[in-house]
Amino acid sequence: MSSPILEARDVYKTYQLGRVDVPVLKGCSMHVNHSEFLAILGSSGSGKSTLMHVLGGLDRTDSGRGDVLHKGSPITGLPERQLNRYRARTIGFVFQFYHLLPELTVLENAMLPGLVPGGIGRNNAKRRARSLLEQFGLSHRLDHRPRELSGGERQRTAIARALVNGPEVLLADEPTGNLDEHTGAEILDLLTEAHRNGLTIVMVTHDRKIADRADRAIRLVDGVLANESP
């Protein structure tokens, strides 16, 4: 059997609030299979978003306390330049609050990951961003600013941005959490279609009904894996 595309092994993550240490992940181990749609379930404060950030290289584990592996190779101790490339080309990120830049157009926002070191470059990014936005029904919005969009249109723009470099894995943190039920269902349909086309997806959610859209769900409780369900 091939190794998982992503794996966390006995991961610890502690944050400092002033002089106080706040442990969030407490020996968490899990894996993500190739072309899988995995949901990470948990209540607020359970550590699910922190786990996603660690898997995506946005945050590092506590020194010497656990490893994150991509296709069997650790990313935990990578130099910053190599970690930047991992984030740019391997991982796409989608967040609850979109994080679109208000001064840029929809097309410019979707192009951004292609412009960073390790990205696909300006010309390729523009072509791919335009193609994704048109695929997501936003061809009439390319020159609009985020403030002119609905919540669903903003999230579709954010998903296009996440996919512009052609990542292997999409990490989605509460992607429907800021949307009404109908619009949220449309976003989940879009993610499900991307998964059918071979994309590996890890989605963080607190909602069991949303997690049921995934192939598999794991639950975090107080920074550790509580159970797994098919």
CA angle 79, 80, 85 (to 5 degrees): 105
Q: Given this model, what pLDDT does residue 229 score?
A: 45
pLDDT for position 92: 96
Q: Is the pLDDT of residue 228 over 60?
A: no
Helices (H), 56-180: 80-89, 106-115, 122-135, 151-163
- Segment 6-52, tens digit of pLDDT: 999 999 999 998 899 999 999 999 999 999 999 999 988 899 999 99
Q: How far apart are CA 99 and CA 210, in angstroms?
A: 22
Given the DSSP bridges, would you call strands 200-205 and 169-173 parallel, antiparallel or unpaired?
A: parallel
Q: What is the mean pLDDT of residues 203-220?
A: 94
One DSSP character per residue, 74-85 reads E-TT--HHHHHH
CA distances from 213 to 112, 186, 200, 224, 229 (A): 29, 12, 14, 23, 13
Residue range 34-44, pLDDT digits in tens: 999 999 999 88
What confidence score (pLDDT) does residue 77 get? 85
Mean of pLDDT over the chain: 93
